Chains A and B, each alone.
Chain A
Amino acid sequence: MTADGLTAEQIVTFDLSEAKPRELNAVLHDPDITSATYRVINPGGRHSIAVGAVAPVSVDIDGHAGYYCAGMNQLAHVRVRGNAGTGVAENMMSGTVVVEGDASQSAGATARGGLLVIEGSASARCGISLKGADIVVRGSIGHMSAFMAQTGRIVVCGDVGEALGDSLYEARIYVRGSVKSLGADCVEKPMREEHVAEVAELLQRAGIDDQDTADFRRYGSARSLYHFNVDDAQAY
Chain B
Amino acid sequence: MHDAQEHANGCAAAAGSGALRESATFDRHAIAEIQRAAREGIYDIRGGGAKRKVPHFDDLLFLGASVSRYPLEGYRERCSTDVVLGTRFAKQPLHLDIPVTIAGMSFGALSANAKEALGRGASAVGTSTTTGDGGMTPEERLSSKTLVYQLLPSRYGMNPDDLRRADAIEIVVGQGAKPGGGGMLLGQKISERVAGMRDLPAGIDQRSACRHPDWTGPDDLEIKIEELREITDWQKPIFVKVGASRPYYDIALAVKAGADVIVLDGMQGGTAATQDIFIEHVGIPILAAIPQAVEALQELGMHRKVQLIVSGGIRSGADVAKALALGADAVSIGVAALVALGDNAPELDAEYAKLGSRAGFYDDWHEGRDPAGISTQDPELAARLDPELGGRRLANYLRAMVLETQTLARACGKSHVHNLEPEDLVALTIESAAMARVPLAGTSWIPGRDRL
Contacts and interface: CB of A to CB of B under 8 A. Distances in A.
Interface of A: 21-22, 25-26, 29, 47-48, 51-52, 54, 66-68, 71-72, 74, 86-87, 90-91, 93, 105-106, 109-110, 112, 125, 128-129, 131-132, 147-148, 150-151, 167, 169-170, 225-228, 230
Interface residues of B, number: 33
A91 B230 contact: no
Contact of A91 (B42, B159, B184, B232): B159
Contact of B223 (A68, A72, A91, A129): A68
Nearest to B156: A131
Given A47-B227, A51-B227, A91-B155, A72 B213 contact: no
Given A72-B160, A150-B200, A151-B199, A128 B213 contact: yes
B155 A51 contact: no
A21 B199 contact: no
A40 to B, nearest CB: 14
| Chain A to chain B: the 7 pairs with minimum beta-carbon distance, closest first | A52-B231, A87-B214, A226-B204, A106-B214, A72-B160, A110-B155, A131-B199
Contacts of A21: 230
A236 B207 CA distance: 12
B215 interface: yes
Nearest to A229: B42
Contacts of B232: 52
B345 interface: no
A91 B158 contact: yes
A54 B207 CA distance: 30
Contacts of A128: 213-214
Between B184, B187, B220, the greatest number of chain A beta carbons within 10 A of the residue's beta carbon is seen for B220
Contacts of B356: none
Contacts of A66: 223
6 contacts: A51-B231, A67-B227, A91-B155, A109-B155, A109-B214, A112-B158
B10 interface: no
Contacts of B42: 228, 230
B58 interface: no
Given A68-B214, A129-B213, A226 B220 contact: no
Contacts of B201: 169-170, 226
Contacts of B231: 25, 29, 51-52, 71-72
Given A129-B209, A170-B201, A226-B205, 5 more contacts: A47-B223, A71-B227, A86-B214, A91-B155, A230-B42
Interface in B159-179: 159-160, 163
Contacts, number: 107
B160 A74 contact: yes
A227 B262 CA distance: 35
B209 A68 contact: no
A187 to B, nearest CB: 17
A86 B199 CA distance: 23
By secondary structure, the B interface counts as loop
Contacts of A71: 227, 231
A67 B200 contact: no
Contacts of B227: 47-48, 51, 67-68, 71
Contacts of B163: 72
A86 B215 contact: yes
Contacts of B199: 112, 131-132, 150-151
Contact of A52 (B200, B204, B223, B230): B230
B224 interface: yes
A47 B227 CA distance: 8
A49 to B, nearest CB: 9
B41 interface: yes
B233 interface: yes
B278 to A, nearest CB: 15
Contacts of A129: 154-155, 209, 213
B226 interface: yes
Between B42, B158, B198, B214, the greatest number of chain A beta carbons within 10 A of the residue's beta carbon is seen for B214
Contact of A26 (B207, B213, B224, B233): B233
B159 A93 contact: yes
A74 to B, nearest CB: 6
A186 to B, nearest CB: 15
A48 B184 contact: no
Contacts of B155: 91, 109-110, 129, 131
Contacts of A54: 160
Given A51-B227, A72-B160, A227-B204, A67 B213 contact: no
Contacts of A25: 230-231, 233
Contacts of A110: 155, 158, 213-214
Given A129-B154, A131-B199, A72 B184 contact: no
A180 to B, nearest CB: 21
Between B163, B204, B223, B227, the greatest number of chain A beta carbons within 10 A of the residue's beta carbon is seen for B227
Interface string B125-169: 000000000000000000000000000001100111001000000
Contacts of A51: 227, 230-231
A147 B150 CA distance: 22
A158 B158 CA distance: 30
Contacts of A22: 230, 234
A215 B160 CA distance: 38
Interface string B209-231: 10001110000100110110011
B214 A90 contact: yes
Contacts of B213: 90, 106, 109-110, 125, 128-129, 147
